[in-house]
Amino acid sequence: MAKYLFPAVFTPAEEGGYLVSFPDLSNVFTDGDSMEEAVENAADALNLMLFDEDPEKIPAPTPIEKVKAPEGGFVNLILADTVAYQEIYDRENNPIRYARKKANLNIKQLADLLGAPYRTVQEWNAGRRMPPKWVEKLVVEKIESVY
C-alpha cells in the first residue's frame, strides 16, 4: 500500500454540484452537491478503489496537463493514502480487533483482560460475531485504558 495521485474530472451536474470521474480508472465515479463535497467524495472513492487493489494492476496516472476539463468543470489531482485509509477501514469495521492490535495483545491476552471466553473474543476478532455497540465501546475503552 502507498500513496497515489490521480487526476479527476469534475463535470457540472444539471441539478447542481459536480459529477466526478477518473480517466485512468474505469468504474470509479462519485459526485457532490458542492465543490468541496465532490473533492472529498472523490478522495473517498479513490481510496476505496485502491486500498485493496494489487499495486501491479493500478495504472499509471495520466499527467494532469493531458486531461481535458469539460465546459464549466475542472480537473484536479486527488490523493489516495491507502495506508491511512486501511487504518480507518479497520478501526471502523472491527474496533475491537483494531484496539487489540494497537495494544499489541493476542486474543488470549484480551480474553484474560476482559474475563471473557476465548472463543467469544476469537469470534469478535474475526468479525464473525460482534457484541452490541455499547459493549463494543466498553471493550475498546478497557483496552485503551490498560495499554
d(CA 74, CA 53): 27
Domain boundary among 60, 86, 112: 86
Domain identity same for 108 and 45: no
* pLDDT given at position 86: 82
Binned at pLDDT 50, 70 and 90, residue 51 comes out as confident
Domain identity same for 110 and 55: no
Domain identity same for 63 and 107: no
pLDDT surpassing 70 at residue 90: yes
Domain identity same for 25 and 51: yes
Domain identity same for 107 and 71: no
Q: Which residue's C-alpha cell is 499509471?
A: 60
Q: The CATH number of the domain where 53 resides is what?
A: 3.30.160.250
Domain identity same for 49 and 98: no
Domain identity same for 78 and 111: no
Domain identity same for 9 and 81: yes
pLDDT surpassing 70 at residue 1: no
Q: The CATH number of the domain where 119 resides is what?
A: 1.10.260
Domain identity same for 45 and 105: no
Domain identity same for 100 and 121: yes
Q: Which domain holds residue 43?
A: 3-86
Domain identity same for 55 and 112: no
d(CA 144, CA 100): 9
Number of domains in the chain: 2
Q: Which residue's C-alpha cell is 460482534?
A: 130
Domain identity same for 22 and 73: yes
Q: Between these two residues, 89 and 7, which has the higher pLDDT value? A: 7
pLDDT in tens, 57-76: 999 999 999 999 999 999 99
Give me the mean pLDDT over the 130-135 stretch.
95
Binned at pLDDT 50, 70 and 90, residue 88 comes out as confident
Give me the mean pLDDT over the 12-28 stretch.
95
**Terminal-residue alpha carbon distance, the chain:** 27
Percentage of residues in the chain with pLDDT exceeding 70? Answer: 99
